[in-house]
Amino acid sequence: MSMTLPLEGCRILSLTNHWAGPSAVRMLADMGAQAIKLEATKRPDPARGPKQGHRDRREYPGDDAGRDPWNRVPRFNERHLGNLDVALDLSHASGKKIFLDLVRVSDVVVENFSARVMHSLGLEYEVLRAAKPDLVMLSMPGFGQSGPWKNYRSFGPTLEYLSGMAALTGYEKGESMPSGILIPDFMGALNGASAVLMGLYHRNQTGEGQHIELAQLEGTLCLLGDALLQTAITGAAPKAQGNRHESFAPHGAFPCKGGVGSEEAWITIAVTDEPQWQALCRAAKKSEWLSEPRYASMVSRKVHEQELNAALVAWTVKFEKYQLAHLLQRAGVPAAPVLNPRDFFGDPQVLARKMLVQVDHPSAGLRSYHGTSWKMSGVPHRDPQPAPMLGQHNRFVLQDILGMDDAAIDALEREGVIGSEPLK
């Protein structure tokens, strides 16, 4: 059995913040890469929150901001598992020199700034390539590095609305509605990690570096393929349908025992063909549904969907959501309980697959985080290391990787080039 992960020996410099970029780098760290996050004490990753802490203390473990709130925010710590952290001011001449020294001994640089930032710092790809000719660099601007919007900033909700996704995820006859979990950020992370792997493969094949430009808006559009195709063919854009499907019925979320409208008492059912419909009728012991002309085909069920859903609700509310999901799955009907985050921590499938891992953070303590979503044969499972505190690895990186002595590092601290506490 191999004891090494696929990217062990690969070093990544992460100039990322918020969500998409850090999540991409975390995936690569899960594959064994040494990921070094670079942020500055005068501008830490915004996901760390304000120096004095969020007003709502529920943002922190145990509702306690502690003495170092910036190290205790769960969303930052989840996205940066397995990273090292150097708080380095890249606007300072000494900070730039150190960064370029790190580039020379690294394989990958990932940044998700808007297009102007790296150029403004004087650290665009051509400069980095001069320091490391075979460098793989991934840039993840929201709108790309060309075009009239290249310098605009974006976040997940921005991209959901601009891509047209939000117009499809709301309720019928309702206002446009974002997903709530910022799907474009996750797509950016997946596309970003895949792009780095592609760049490394290209380098291994040719010996050449690569600058990969990933416009996150363009990466989001792949999720709307059928909607874009329909619009191109018919000239009419599809409309939001809530939990319903354009063709299938029954298809949606249905209340279970525990109270209609309770977020903890719903099941999803998606019938996509006639055998599944027949299996649903048998599981529900509703032979009359099979003989009902309104439900005789998928087309007619879709026409009479409102009546069908009402009949189905009258049956589903008699069952607990897990009980009903197991009943339907055994019958051959695609169904699943609707879980909220509290359910997830006790779900038997989550526990059996060890989807959550316990990680002990120096400030936040022992907490559960999601583990890797893949399992590789021949490679032993390893729980991720905790997310770094701000500037936690300044000395390790500067001494062990760059060979700087204590006096030089002390001078950098005095000058404010490195540090371990936000300036404001």
pLDDT digit string (tens) for the chain, length 424 residues: 457 889 999 999 999 999 999 999 999 999 999 999 999 999 999 999 999 999 999 889 999 999 999 999 999 999 999 999 999 999 999 999 999 999 999 999 999 998 889 999 999 999 999 999 999 999 999 888 888 888 888 888 888 888 888 888 888 777 777 887 888 898 999 999 999 999 999 999 999 999 999 999 888 888 888 888 888 888 888 888 888 888 999 999 999 998 555 567 899 999 999 999 999 999 999 999 999 999 999 999 999 999 999 999 999 999 999 999 999 999 999 999 998 888 888 888 888 888 888 999 999 999 999 888 888 888 877 788 999 999 999 999 999 999 999 999 999 999 999 999 999 8
Peptide bond into 250 cis (omega under 30): yes
The per-residue pLDDT for 261 is 54
Q: Answer yes or no: are the C-beta atoms of 146 and 132 closer than 8 Å.
A: no
Q: Answer yes or no: are the C-beta atoms of 122 and 139 closer than 8 Å.
A: no
Which residues have CB under 8 Å from 35's CB, separation 6+? 12, 14, 25, 26, 28, 29, 82, 83, 84
User: What pLDDT digit, counting tens, does each position of 383-411 carry?
Assistant: 889 999 999 999 999 999 999 999 999 99
Which of 193, 190, 163, 186 has the alpha carbon at shortest distance from 176? Answer: 163
Where do you find CATH 3.30.1540.10 in the chain? 251-344
- Looking at the chain, the number of H-run helices and the number of E-run strands are 18, 11
Task: Give 132's Cβ-side CA count (13 Å radius).
Answer: 26
Instruction: Kindly write down the DSSP assignment for every residue of 136-170, as one continuous string.
Output: EEEE--SS-SSSTTTT----HHHHHHHHTGGGTSS
How far apart CA 397 and CA 363 sit, in angstroms, is 21
How far apart CA 385 and CA 81 sit, in angstroms, is 6
3-state secondary structure 220-272: HHHHHHHHHHHHHHHCCCCCCCCCCCCCCCCEEEEECCCCCCCCCCEEEEECC
Task: Give 88's Cβ-side CA count (13 Å radius).
Answer: 26
* Angle, alpha carbons 354-357-360 (nearest 5°): 160
Task: Give 110's Cβ-side CA count (13 Å radius).
Answer: 34
How is domain 251-344 classified at the architecture level of CATH? 2-Layer Sandwich (3.30)
CATH number among 3.40.50.20, 3.40.50.10540, 3.40.640.10, 3.40.50.1000, domain 11-222+355-415: 3.40.50.10540
The per-residue pLDDT for 151 is 84
Where do you find CATH 3.40.50.10540 in the chain? 11-222+355-415
User: What pLDDT digit, counting tens, does each position of 30-53 carry?
Assistant: 999 999 999 999 999 999 999 999
